[in-house]
A and B are shown apart, each in its own frame.
Chain A
């Protein structure tokens, strides 16, 4: 038993290297597309760059969210809520400062966030954005996020083994 354990721990560091993905989950797109310019800016505000934590850009959190929007396992209502929330955030920004969220200064964005977070929809929506941001931070890099396992390194996490060789697809199980 002990031998097995020693072997496992010794193998752990090596196994942290990203595996090659057979299929993509995260998607590439231009950040100017709606709602990604808004959510891209929000990502920065929610999880700002710091000396130790990886940034949302480094994690490819936005590309990952694009994958979420194409994911058949995510309810259509959830996807619509993600879009609606971005629109409502911009509405609040226009009301308060006559500009879209991504054109505001950092202090103004903070004020808008403080307002929307008081609303039930705002709290739910930001929680939803966080849940996919955390997935991008902590998923296996085969998903095209958590690039080079930076999220795992940051939080000293060792994944479980065996790791996935590719992102799941809806019909993978169907084939078996």
Chain B
């Protein structure tokens, strides 16, 4: 059996920087990825396959989760995702969910790292400060900008975080004419319009092609390599060193460990045969829910409740991105001919955000607010058509429906916004394992207990009010919102929070498991709180940081 220096489980945002850094440094790395190895040539804009049949995630009949929610009376409703259709899978392929991201990239801000000490505690929530500071992570945020490729333009605004470089290494991508309408509206309202940084290359660079403005970006694989997904940006380069072996269709089901060291990883290969891998260092990067599940399922006599669960912390404090979304419609009938043309320009990005209320004051005290990203309704035509099926609560038919579709697609366009605020970590939102429900390999599935703190909705609505001001100022009609505690399955973190005290955290500040000499966790699960931004830039940055710590460790071996 080949002995590797590093074995990584999963190949997404938390995994790829480690594979990249350590294979470039000459260490032998193996990446075990459950999904297939898809590259640019396999990715098409096939709505049926990608969005209607979800081919990049497992079939729910084969693999699913148990989902538990609280009823109004406090009792718990339990369902399997196979029964309810509730899908908590994201991208299952080499590069993980980053293949499918839209690439909205925001850094967390200095006060996100000291939420508890800045804003105080909130009843019912387990808010803590991070064991590292923004300043410690900043060099790695900067590294992601240049290595993965982040495009954008720094503008000064009250919540602009400190930067070690003046501006982004790549200018913004091609912008939709509506971005100018947005800027004008913000100017009138006194808001700071921010060009949204994107993990998208505007032109050929870093050995990858520039964006082709395919109009189908989020949820779709990138056929040019412009999107800074973990495979195109990092894993292909790791592989090219000859030191990194990527094994697709490798479903890891158990980690062996003695009291203080991981000793082997076991996976089922494409044919269903069990294979064992040994390495000096092990890294778990299977995304928040699956990393917890794997560690819980790896219980043995030394770790009777799962590896890393001595103090019952494993799986606790699961978080999502709180907030929601809203929209307004722009009608041709209210626009000049030029504006109609501008509105219908396809492919270009809106690239605009607001962070004016990242922190705001209410009732005499500071509140942690968040980010609002603006974009057009997703281009998927079937979903768009289905949204037009009802008018005033009544299902339309025949000519009435046809007229509505014609209008919606040809004479109007929906502009949307997404609110990102903190999903407060609580005792009521966590991952465990349900021994009574197994996946197609006979392995117990993850059970997800969901709970959104009421405070999250209050903040989400506050931000949605501001977003709607902009939509109204721009001239949108039919403005509506959906702010709730429904979790977005693609923006999930926590469950293995890092911290200094083993009694209330799973990982140490370097993301090494407390009490385990050679076992690290690097994916979204390390985050004790999520900041009010999408997570991927932070996951990437932290993984570069962890890679450095592992490198130092390997040097000593």
**Chain A interface residues toward B at CB < 8 A:** 1, 4-5, 8, 45-48, 50, 52-53, 71-75, 113, 117, 123, 126-127, 130-131, 134-135, 137-140, 143, 154-165, 167-168, 172-174, 176
**Would you call A162 and B382 a contact (CB within 8 A)?**
no
Question: What residues of B have a CB within 8 angstroms of the CB of A46 in the complex?
Answer: 397-398, 401
Cβ-based interface call for B223 (8 A)? yes
**Would you call B395 and A117 a contact (CB within 8 A)?**
yes
Question: What residues of A have a CB within 8 angstroms of the CB of B45 in the complex?
Answer: 159-164
Complex Cα–Cα for A133 and B385 (A): 10
**Chain B interface residues toward A at CB < 8 A:** 35-38, 42-49, 52-56, 59-61, 85, 93, 174, 202-203, 210, 212-216, 220, 223, 248-249, 270, 346-348, 379, 381-382, 385-386, 389, 395, 397-399, 401-402, 405-406, 409-410
**Most-contacted residue by chain A among B46, B348, B389 (CB, 10 A):** B46
**Would you call B381 and A127 a contact (CB within 8 A)?**
no
Complex Cα–Cα for A50 and B399 (A): 7
Known: A127-B386, A131-B382, A174-B270. 5 other contacts (CB 8 A): A1-B203, A73-B54, A130-B386, A139-B47, A173-B56
**Would you call B402 and A167 a contact (CB within 8 A)?**
no
**Would you call B48 and A160 a contact (CB within 8 A)?**
no
24 chain-A/chain-B pairs, Cβ below 8 angstroms: A1-B202, A5-B347, A47-B397, A48-B398, A52-B402, A53-B402, A53-B405, A71-B53, A72-B59, A73-B53, A75-B60, A130-B389, A135-B382, A139-B382, A155-B406, A158-B215, A162-B43, A163-B45, A168-B55, A172-B55, A173-B35, A173-B56, A176-B36, A176-B37
**Would you call A164 and B382 a contact (CB within 8 A)?**
no
Complex Cα–Cα for A32 and B395 (A): 28
**Would you call B405 and A161 a contact (CB within 8 A)?**
no
Complex Cα–Cα for A104 and B210 (A): 58
| Given contact pairs A48-B398, A130-B389, A131-B386, A167 touches B48 in the complex (Cβ within 8 A) | yes
| Given contact pairs A167-B48, A174-B36, A134 touches B382 in the complex (Cβ within 8 A) | yes
A-B pairs, top 10 by smallest CB distance, nearest first, are: A160-B45, A160-B216, A168-B49, A164-B46, A155-B409, A73-B53, A138-B381, A164-B44, A53-B402, A176-B36
Complex Cα–Cα for A5 and B56 (A): 29
Question: What residues of B have a CB within 8 angstroms of the CB of A172 in the complex?
Answer: 55
Question: What residues of B have a CB within 8 angstroms of the CB of A47 in the complex?
Answer: 397-398, 401-402
**Would you call A127 and B395 a contact (CB within 8 A)?**
yes
Closest to B270 in A: A174
Question: What residues of A have a CB within 8 angstroms of the CB of B410 in the complex?
Answer: 155-156
Question: What residues of B have a CB within 8 angstroms of the CB of A45 in the complex?
Answer: 397-398
Complex Cα–Cα for A123 and B47 (A): 24
Complex Cα–Cα for A159 and B93 (A): 24
- Identify whether the interface residues of A are mostly helix, strand, loop, or mixed: loop
Q: Write the nearest CB–CB distance from B233 to chain A, whole angstroms.
A: 20
Question: What residues of A have a CB within 8 angstroms of the CB of B35 in the complex?
Answer: 173
Question: What residues of B have a CB within 8 angstroms of the CB of A139 in the complex?
Answer: 47-48, 382
B36, B46, B59, B385: the one contacting A134 at CB < 8 Å is: B385
Complex Cα–Cα for A123 and B52 (A): 20
**Most-contacted residue by chain A among B36, B220, B381 (CB, 10 A):** B381
**Would you call B379 and A160 a contact (CB within 8 A)?**
yes
Complex Cα–Cα for A147 and B49 (A): 18
Question: What residues of B have a CB within 8 angstroms of the CB of A127 in the complex?
Answer: 386, 389, 395
**Would you call A48 and B399 a contact (CB within 8 A)?**
yes
**Would you call A156 and B409 a contact (CB within 8 A)?**
yes
Question: What residues of A have a CB within 8 angstroms of the CB of B85 in the complex?
Answer: 75
Question: What residues of B have a CB within 8 angstroms of the CB of A137 in the complex?
Answer: 382, 385
Question: What residues of A have a CB within 8 angstroms of the CB of B213 in the complex?
Answer: 4-5, 8
Question: What residues of A have a CB within 8 angstroms of the CB of B347 in the complex?
Answer: 5, 8
Question: What residues of B have a CB within 8 angstroms of the CB of A123 in the complex?
Answer: 395
Complex Cα–Cα for A43 and B213 (A): 35
Complex Cα–Cα for A71 and B53 (A): 9
**Would you call A4 and B212 a contact (CB within 8 A)?**
yes
Closest to B203 in A: A1
Complex Cα–Cα for A164 and B379 (A): 16
| Given contact pairs A50-B402, A134-B386, A1 touches B397 in the complex (Cβ within 8 A) | no
**Would you call B402 and A173 a contact (CB within 8 A)?**
no
Complex Cα–Cα for A86 and B141 (A): 56
Closest to A133 in B: B385
Q: Write the nearest CB–CB distance from A59 to chain B, whole angstroms.
A: 13
**Would you call B386 and A163 a contact (CB within 8 A)?**
no
Question: What residues of B have a CB within 8 angstroms of the CB of A48 in the complex?
Answer: 398-399
Complex Cα–Cα for A52 and B409 (A): 14
Complex Cα–Cα for A1 and B171 (A): 11
Closest to B53 in A: A73
